[in-house]
Every structure is written in structure tokens, then in C-alpha cells.
A and B are shown apart, each in its own frame.
Chain A
Amino acid sequence: MAIEISFGQYLPLDSLIHRLDPRIKLIMTLISIIVIFIIREFIGYALLACFLVVLVALSKVPPLYIFRGLKPLIFFILLTFALHLFTTQGTVIFQWWFLKGTAEGLRNGLLMVFRFMLLISFSTLLTLTCSPLELTDALESLLSPLKRIGFPSHEIAMMMSIALRFIPVLVEETNRIIKAQVARGADIESGGVVNRAKNLIPILVPLFINTFKRADDLALAMEVRCYRGGEGRTKMKEYILSARDFLFLGASIVVGIASILI
């Protein structure tokens, strides 16, 4: 009955990776994504996979969580594999009905599978070890050079962090309203499409009203604290790069280049 949304799925643990500067983690993820798209050999993916295993071990995140990130995309990955297997021209290794599987297709398909799995695993690791607020902070900091050409990096980061900040609140609120209406005998799970849509009214109306109220309150609270955009705004928590951060950044660059060249 209750909705469970694990947005960002941040796991608040205390590990070397968790304590890393979020900007470095974001850049490392970007590097790995770029490298993943350049690599054309299995051995490169193997090296990158080893690097991932080391990072996951250091992060103390149970490997199960990484697999959980892969789960919803399994169908998509298999579909891509099949498309490559059957549509690539080359030496036919087996035939099934009118579909011809080729050796080149098998190779391409497997490469795609590894590519997707690594891509998802790296980004899952990022969201598991960075809180959503750290991520938006990192994004703001990395985008700040664009301010000079008029890009509203602070405003975008602020909007993102407010949106992220209120996701758990809204989920909680929704669950609370569902419970309250169910306690009044509301039936939210059975009935046809029309009935189900109708059953949503007692949940959506209070949810919208409360959300507008909350947005009003938040705007007021920001205004009385003299919020007027990003200009001249300082941070309570400044991120300072340490030797550790450079070490990890260096390692990922080395591993990245090695995986491409190998």
C-alpha cells in the first residue's frame, strides 16, 4: 500500500569513498562514462570492472545495492544484446528460424552489455555514496565558471536541491494521506481504471493543497532570511580538495587511459 521511492538511494555510511569531495566523485563518474564509450576491447572493460570492484569495496556499500541498480534495466540490456546479435552482418554461427546470429554480432552485443552494466554501476555507486545535496553542490561548483556567460548555475542548483529536498517529504505526506483515507474505508487498490482514477481524488486533492501551502511557507521563509539569488552568497560547508581527492582523481585518470590503450 505504502509507496517506497528511494530516490538517489543514498546510503549514509562512513567510508573513504563517502568522505571524498563530491566534485571529485562527479568528475570520476564523468571520466568513467567517457572512457566506457571509447573502449572497444573486452580487456579494457575488464580493467575498468576491477577498478569498480575496488571502489565498491572501499565504499563499504553492500554489492547487492549495485545489482539492485541494474535490475530494472535488465530487459533493456537483453534487448540491446539480441538486436546486436541478430542484425550485425558477418559470419553466421547459428540460425534460429529467420534470425541469423553472427560472430561479429555476438562480440558487439557482449560489448554493449558490458558497456551498459559498467555505466549503470558507476552512476549507482555515485548516488549511493553522495547525498543529493552534495551532488547539487558539486554540480553548482563545477558549473560556476559558466556564470560569466550568464548561465544561472546557482539558481539551477537551488531549484534542484529544493526539489530533491522535498521528495522524501512528499512521499511521506502521500503515505500519510493514503493511510488516513484508507482508515476511512477508502479503497485505493481495487476497481476498474475509472474507479481507480476516482479513488485518487481523496489523495491528490489534499496533497496538492498541502504542497502549495508548503511552497508558500518556504518562499516566505527564504525571503525573511533575505534570500535574493546566488550573488555574493557564501557556503557554510566549503569543499576543500585534499591529497586524497587528487589521489583518487589521478587513479581514475590512469585507469581510464590504461583501459583505452590496453
Chain B
Amino acid sequence: MPSLIELRDVWYQYNPNSPLSYWALKGINLKIDRGEFVSIIGPTGSGKSTLIQHFNGLLKPTRGEVIVDGIDISKTKDLKIIRKKVGMVFQYPETQIFSETIYDELAFGLRNYGYSEDEIKKKIEEVTKKLGIDYIPLDKSPFLLSGGEMRRVAIASILAMDPEVFVLDEPLANLDPQGRKELLREIDHLNRKESLTVVIVSHDLSEVSKYANRILVIFDGTIIMDGPPREIFKNVERLIEIFLGVPQIVELLYSLYKRGADIPYNILNLDEAAKVIVKWRKSLGNRDKLRTISTT
């Protein structure tokens, strides 16, 4: 089966033919398969947002090819089909809300794609449950909701369209810790239970690494790392060098490792870290050996 999204040597230039022109993407090769949970990580200005806007044809490559589900986005005349396959949630999606009621907001995309009112009603019921907003009355104005609720409504309005891949640009920005955790867990649930392909853009490795099964690190318009989180975390120094950093617990273990502790540091969560440390402590046995760890 072909990849869901495939990019072949994609280059993108902003403001072509002017002194302000610059290349935001420099030769991106990438394949995303069905069912993956991919996280695209990169510092500000590295080209993350530019990259994902190629996935649904909002931007077209200056050079190279973008193929979504077998369709070349530069050649197709019907980008609307692609935009349904690739559901895209922009940064601060709550700022795109415009309807008088939550129901209308959620129905906007579905109506654009010509669903019948019966289908729309069904889809909205489903999606509000999935994102845990089914307690909010649908005839309420979306502008009376809290920030976190508005975010969910905006995300739900895209999820309602039944995309094949769900692309989210910094979906956690400006949410409180509890809200971030819940939203991520719900997205993870969609990925596991409904095998929805998920792409999350973020600049924070620690949050998404718990769920993503693949991380793409993008820097200065090129992909510099691509692999499961455990592989990515092996490059602690490079990640710090490009201002991304690593989860604190990885940094702690790496710091111990550098001081002479014989432990792996590419771990994914606190529980695993605890086990690694306990095992290491036991292997040391007595106090004398512990002193060999430099304290400087």
C-alpha cells in the first residue's frame, strides 16, 4: 500500500524573486504511513508550519513533489478532496470560530462537503463524545466558552469531517497542564482505537514523546533526525545545541551517564527512569564504588 503522505525532495521559497526571499524548506524527503503517530519537532522558524501546509495543498512546493494518498497536489485540480483527507488544525484554532452556535461551528466543514443534516447531526454527536465536550449544550454560543473548551470545539470541527490524517499545529499552546494532558490523551486514543493517523507539530519534545511513535526533528528547513523517540533521545547534545532540549529526566540520566554512571539515558518516562536508577544503584553494591562517580 502506498504511503498516505509522501514528499519527494520538497523545496519551498517564500517571496520568490525579491530581496526578501528565503528558502523555508530545503529538500525534504518524507513518508508518513497509515496509523502512525508522528511528531514534528523543531525550534521556531525551522519550517515546521511551512512543511505541514504542504500536506493539504495550502502551499505548493517550489520544487519537488507532494503526494497525498496517490494524488500529486501540484497537479490535481480538486484540492478540496485532499483537504478532507488531511484534517488540519492550525495554531490557536479557537481564533477561527465564527458561528452563532457550537452546532453550526461543528457543522461548518461538514456542510462544505455536502453532508445531509441527518449525517451532520450524527457526526457531531460522535465527535463531541470523542473529545469530551458532550456536556456542553450545542445551541450555546461558542464565544461564551472557556479558552480550553473553545480549543476543543475548534479541533472537533475538523475531526468531525472524518479525516484520514489529523494534522495539528501546536495544539497544546496556551492550555493549562491538565488540559494539555487530557487533549493529548484523547488524540492518542483516536490514534490507537480508531487507527487515525496523527501528525502533531510542537517545539516541546517532552510532551509529545510519550505518545508519538515517530519523531521528526526539523532544523533550518531540513529533517535532521527521524526515528522513534528512544532513538532521537540518543542525540542529547545535538538536541540541546539546536535549542530544542530534551525531557528533564533524559537530561538528568545523561548527566549521570557523562559523570561515569553506566546507564542508558534514552528513556521515555519517569517510571522507566526509576527502574534504570534502581538497577544501577544495586549494581554498584557498596559505598566505595559510588564514590567513583564524580561530583563535579
Contacts and interface: CB of A to CB of B under 8 A. Distances in A.
Nearest to A208: B98
Interface stretch (A35-43, A179-187, A223-231): A179-187
Contacts of A185: 80, 83-84, 109, 112-113, 161
Given A180-B96, A181-B96, A202-B98, A187 B112 contact: yes
Nearest to B110: A185
A206 B96 contact: yes
B112 A186 contact: yes
A129 to B, nearest CB: 13
Nearest to B167: A183
Contact of B58 (A62, A182, A209): A182
B108 to A, nearest CB: 6
Contacts of B83: 182-185
Interface stretch (B31-39, B87-95, B269-277): B87-95
Given A202-B98, A206-B98, A183 B88 contact: yes
Given A182-B83, A183-B58, A205 B112 contact: no
A11 B95 contact: no
Given A183-B58, A184-B161, A206 B97 contact: yes
A12 B18 CA distance: 11
B128 interface: no
Contacts, number: 57
B19 A180 contact: no
A262 interface: no
Most buried by A among B83, B88, B98, B108: B98
A210 B161 CA distance: 25
A16 interface: no
B95 A206 contact: yes
A183 B56 contact: yes
A176 interface: yes
A210 B95 CA distance: 7
A11 B21 CA distance: 12
Contacts of A47: none
A201 interface: yes
Nearest to A202: B98
A183 B54 CA distance: 12
Nearest to B157: A184
Contacts of A183: 56, 58, 83, 87-88, 90, 158
Interface string A56-94: 000000100000000000000000000000000000000
B158 A184 contact: yes
A182 B56 CA distance: 10
A179 B90 contact: yes
Contacts of A13: 19
A185 to B, nearest CB: 3
A180 B112 contact: no
Interface in A199-235: 201-202, 205-206, 209-210
B53 interface: yes
A11 B88 CA distance: 34
A137 to B, nearest CB: 23
A179 B49 CA distance: 12
A177 interface: yes
A176 B90 contact: yes
Given A183-B88, A185-B84, A11 B113 contact: no
23 contacts: A11-B19, A12-B19, A177-B96, A179-B58, A179-B90, A180-B88, A180-B90, A180-B96, A182-B58, A183-B58, A183-B158, A184-B112, A184-B157, A184-B158, A185-B84, A185-B113, A185-B161, A187-B112, A202-B96, A202-B98, A206-B95, A209-B98, A209-B143
Given A184-B109, A209-B98, 10 more contacts: A12-B19, A12-B20, A13-B19, A179-B58, A180-B96, A182-B58, A183-B56, A184-B83, A184-B158, A185-B113
Interface of B: 19-20, 53, 56, 58, 80, 83-84, 87-88, 90, 93, 95-98, 108-109, 112-113, 143, 157-158, 161
The 6 A-B residue pairs whose C-beta atoms are closest, nearest first, are A185-B112, A205-B98, A184-B109, A180-B96, A183-B88, A180-B90
